[in-house]
């Protein structure tokens, strides 16, 4: 018994000596567990996307689970601004050589134009009409807006744009009147005609000026892209004065647009605006395959058959060439890979999305803070605009223009005009998916870690982020890349890349082609010849236009895709 007591006493003493050690180990484990709990991502921080995909070898449809962390990836520069953007600014003032409108305008020469397409296509027509009137030394009649096309908007110019501001701001450049004058008690009748697409200065002087002298009033119909992309520097600057300063929306539109922007800012300091362009008509035109099987092929095929001249294309080829809009999920993955986390607020400008909520679900999973006009405005607030497609498009235009980052999923008119406008007003980031390069990356993402996927996205998107000098001066459409109207600080010019371009000299070289008239044709076909130099292709970043493959007879299709 004594031995047992001594043994218990010895064990008790040993246990008491071990107690601090045990307590220390337990405390250390508790601290370690707390740290792991604190730093580990919560279940809500990680998105697991279950999505259909086309397996690269063969056409089998499979399912993958793709883990996307909340933080996305990292960029080399700040997410919400363009590198060196503070050194660039819009500069569109006329030089002393550009004579006042009073000195050059001829009496009894009235030019009217009838625009075509949606709001932004009409905007390009209005901008170019002012330049055409200046070339012709004519008085411009306030342009007529398209009220009969696919968009079926009955609005006139003064209901969309501030007509008095438009006239007064441009008074030194072009004389503008609201309607044709009356002669002999009757309103002067305008002679209707059309000009070829991308008609240059010489073309207008040779073709339209003689008719103006004879008829006194001419109306140019379907006036969209009827002026050359490349013009003399003074005319290009006039384009910028019209587009970025003279064209103001009427008061109710910016008032409502400001409310929408304020509500986005109340949610977050920064926000992204996304022009999704994933409507059924857009997808039918693209001829792309989005993994929806026979049901998708039937639905989009039925839409495609509405245009006799639109033939079924090779969906794989179109995808490889970057002609397919990204799916909402792919756009979301691209943005997360670029570094935009799950807490970022996104405003989506879009019509009816093909597949509805099911198609949008992956994008909403990646970016739960998902907004549109319908979610941040009441029905009562939107009602005055809802019956007019141009006014609804104008609201989206304002919210997208004011966004910290604008993302475009195609290269239609709204994307082009906003890209150019954002360059002009400080190079605010405009992200355009490098669809050609991203195609295979999305296709093989099941075999990649998130880190490898995000790194590749960031590599492929260099040159597609809206940075200054991404696009060579003179490349692409002028409305998308108004290089003539963007100046840089002298300090910045010294540290710029070795490839430098003198804007005025480049323009002068280009405009020597103005001596050549458009190929003569008695019927003046709706031609769309490209005035880019073939030997420059592939050297610089360029986007693919919706119009690259449109046949001139596809009028309705062109209107649908215009915005």
On whether both 220 and 293 belong to a single domain, the answer is: no
Q: Give the rounded distance of the alpha carbon of 167 from its chain centre.
A: 28
pLDDT score of 536 more than 70? no
Which pLDDT band holds residue 551 (cuts at 50, 70, 90)?
very low
Query: Residue range 239-262: average pLDDT?
Result: 97
Instruction: Give the H/E segment covering residue 205.
Output: helix 201-207
The reported pLDDT for the residue numbered 491 is 60
Range name among 100-104, 289-293, 465-469 with the lowest pLDDT average: 289-293
How is residue 1 written in tokens? 């018994």
Kindly indicate the confidence band of residue 354, based on its pLDDT and cuts at 50, 70 and 90: confident
Give helix 435-443 / helix 450-460 axis angle, nearest 10°.
Answer: 170
Among candidates 436, 438, 439, 403, which has minimal Cα distance to 421? 403
Same domain? 108 vs 198:
yes
Dihedral pair phi/psi, residue 420, rounded to 5°? -65, -40
**Would residue 25 count as lying in a domain?**
no
User: Which stretches within 305-407 are classed as H helix?
Assistant: 315-320, 328-338, 356-366, 373-376, 379-386, 389-402
CATH number for the domain that contains residue 212: 3.40.50.11340
Residue 318 domain flag: yes
Task: Indicate whether 79 belongs to any domain.
Answer: no
Name the nearest CA neighbour of 118 among 407, 353, 382, 417: 417
From residue 399, alpha-carbon distances to 122, 229, 260, 441 in Å are: 19, 28, 7, 31
Same domain, yes or no: 225 and 362: no
Decide if 494 is inside a domain.
no
List pLDDT tens digits, range 170-213.
Answer: 999 999 999 999 887 788 899 999 999 999 999 999 999 999 99
Do 481 and 337 have their domain in common?
Answer: yes
pLDDT at 388: 93
Q: Cβ(336)–Cβ(68) under 8 Å?
A: yes
Per-residue pLDDT, 38: 45
Q: Average pLDDT, whole number, for the chain?
A: 79
Domain boundary among 488, 516, 550: 488
Whether residues 449 and 332 fall in one domain: yes
* Residue where one domain finishes, among candidates 457, 488, 519: 488
Residue 467 DSSP symbol: -
Could you give the C-alpha distances from 344 to 83, 265, 367, 380, 456, in angstroms and in order? 21, 12, 7, 28, 22
Tokens read off for 48: 């697991």
Q: Are residues 356 and 470 in the same domain?
A: yes
The three-class DSSP label of residue 217 is strand
Helix axes 503-511, 233-241, angle to 10 degrees: 110
Percent of the chain past pLDDT 70, that is, above it, reads 72
Going by C-beta distance under 8 Å and a sequence separation of 6 or more, which residues neighbour residue 309? 551, 553, 554
Judged on CB neighbours under 10 Å (0-12, 13-18, 19+), 317 is exposed
Q: What is the reported pLDDT for 203?
A: 97
CA distance 357 to 354: 9
Note whether 169 and 299 are same-domain residues: no
Q: Are residues 303 and 278 in the same domain?
A: yes
Residue 295 shares a structural domain with residue 423: yes
**CB distance 87 to 494 below 8 Å:** no
| E strand segments, 91-175 | 110-113, 139-141
* End-to-end CA gap in the chain: 99
Residue pair 167/235 in contact (Cβ under 8 Å)? The answer is no
How far CA 44 is from CA of 10, 40, 68, 270, 342, in Å, comes to 53, 11, 11, 22, 10
411 and 459 assigned to the same domain: yes
* Confidence (pLDDT) at 532: 34
Burial class (CB in 10 A: 0-12, 13-18, 19+), 29: exposed
Q: What's the average model confidence in pLDDT over 306-332? A: 79
Residues 303 and 238 in one domain: no
In this structure, is residue 495 part of a structural domain? Answer: no
Around Cβ 183, how many Cβ atoms within 10 Å? 12
In the chain, helix, strand, coil percent, each to 5? Answer: 45, 10, 40
Domain that holds residue 239: 101-248
User: CA–CA separation, 146 vs 97, rounded Å?
Assistant: 35
Residues 151-162: what's their mean pLDDT?
A: 90
Strand bridging mode 191-193 / 405-408: unpaired
Query: By C-alpha distance, which of 327, 543, 270 is closest to 431?
Result: 543
Q: What number is the average pLDDT over the span 362-381?
A: 95
pLDDT score, position 519: 35
Cβ proximity of 93 and 536 under 8 Å:
no
Summarize pLDDT for 99-135 with one digit per residue, the tens: 999 999 999 999 999 999 889 999 999 999 999 999 9
Q: Is residue 405 domain-shared with residue 436, that is, in the same domain?
A: yes
Residues in the chain: 563
User: In angstroms, rounded to a whole number, what is the distance separating the alpha carbons of residues 74 and 458?
Assistant: 8
Q: Which residues contact 355 (CB under 8 A, 6 or more apart)?
A: 292
Residue 420 counted as domain residue: yes
Q: Is residue 209 part of a domain?
A: yes
pLDDT at 240 (0 to 100):
98
Q: How many domains does the chain have?
A: 2
Average pLDDT, integer, range 539-552: 39
For residue 53, report the phi and psi dihedrals to the nearest 5 degrees.
-150, 155
Is residue 364 predicted with pLDDT exceeding 80? yes
Tell me, yes or no, whether 516 lies in a domain: no
pLDDT of residue 43 exceeding 50:
no
Contact 49, 65 (CB under 8 A): yes
The predicted structure's pLDDT at residue 251: 96
Q: Is the pLDDT of residue 312 over 90?
A: no
Choosing from 488, 518, 544, the residue where a domain stops is 488
Q: What distances in angstroms separate CA 324 from CA 42, 275, 453, 461, 546, one per listed residue?
A: 35, 14, 20, 17, 10
């Amino acid at each position: 018994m004594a031995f047992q007591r001594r043994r218990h006493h010895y064990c008790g003493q040993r246990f008491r000596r071990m107690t601090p050690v045990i307590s220390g180990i337990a405390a250390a484990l508790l601290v370690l567990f707390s740290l792991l709990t604190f730093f580990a991502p919560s279940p809500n921080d990680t998105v697991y996307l279950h999505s259909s995909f086309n397996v690269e070898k063969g056409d089998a449809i499979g399912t993958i689970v793709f883990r996307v962390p909340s933080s996305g990836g990292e960029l080399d520069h700040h997410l919400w601004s363009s590198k060196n953007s503070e050194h660039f600014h819009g500069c569109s003032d006329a030089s002393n050589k550009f004579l006042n409108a009073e000195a050059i305008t001829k009496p009894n020469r009235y030019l009217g134009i009838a625009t075509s397409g949606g709001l932004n296509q009409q905007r390009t027509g209005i901008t170019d009409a002012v330049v055409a009137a200046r070339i012709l030394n004519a008085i411009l009649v306030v342009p007529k807006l398209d009220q009969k096309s696919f968009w079926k908007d009955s609005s006139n110019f003064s209901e969309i744009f501030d007509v008095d501001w438009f006239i007064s701001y441009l008074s030194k450049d072009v004389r503008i009147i609201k309607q044709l004058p009356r002669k002999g008690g009757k309103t002067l009748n305008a002679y209707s005609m059309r000009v070829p697409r991308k008609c240059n200065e010489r073309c207008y002087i040779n073709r339209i000026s003689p008719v103006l002298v004879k008829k006194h009033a001419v109306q140019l119909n379907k006036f969209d892209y009827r002026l050359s992309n490349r013009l003399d520097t003074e005319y290009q600057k006039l384009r910028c004065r019209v587009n970025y300063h003279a064209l103001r929306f009427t008061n109710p539109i910016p008032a409502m647009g400001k409310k929408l922007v304020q509500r986005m800012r109340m949610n977050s300091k920064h926000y992204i605006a996304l022009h999704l362009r994933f409507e059924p008509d857009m997808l039918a035109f693209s001829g792309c395959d989005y993994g929806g099987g026979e049901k998708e092929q039937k639905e989009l095929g039925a839409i495609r058959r509405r245009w006799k001249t639109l033939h079924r294309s090779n969906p794989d080829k179109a995808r490889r060439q970057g002609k397919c809009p990204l799916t909402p999920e792919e756009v979301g993955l691209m943005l997360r890979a670029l570094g935009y986390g799950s807490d970022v607020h996104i405003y989506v400008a879009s019509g009816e999305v093909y597949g509805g909520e099911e198609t949008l679900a992956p994008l909403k999973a990646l970016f739960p803070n998902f907004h549109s006009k319908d979610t941040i405005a009441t029905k009562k607030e939107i009602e005055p605009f809802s019956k007019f497609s141009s006014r609804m498009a104008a609201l989206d235009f304002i919210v997208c223009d004011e966004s910290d980052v604008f993302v475009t999923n195609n290269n239609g008119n709204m994307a082009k005009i906003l890209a150019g406008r954002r360059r002009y007003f400080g190079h605010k980031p405009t992200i355009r998916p490098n669809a050609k390069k991203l195609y295979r990356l999305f296709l093989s993402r099941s075999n990649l870690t998130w880190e490898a996927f995000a790194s590749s996205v960031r590599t492929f998107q260099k040159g597609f982020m809206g940075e200054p000098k991404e696009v060579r001066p003179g490349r692409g459409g002028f409305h998308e890349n108004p290089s003539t109207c963007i100046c840089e600080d002298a300090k910045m010019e010294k540290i710029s890349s070795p490839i430098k371009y003198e804007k005025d000299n480049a323009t002068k070289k280009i405009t020597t082609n103005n001596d050549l008239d458009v190929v003569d044709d008695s019927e003046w076909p709706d031609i769309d010849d490209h005035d880019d130099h073939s030997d420059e292709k592939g050297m610089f970043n360029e986007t693919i236009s919706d119009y690259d493959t449109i046949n001139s007879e596809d009028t309705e299709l062109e209107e649908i895709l215009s915005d």
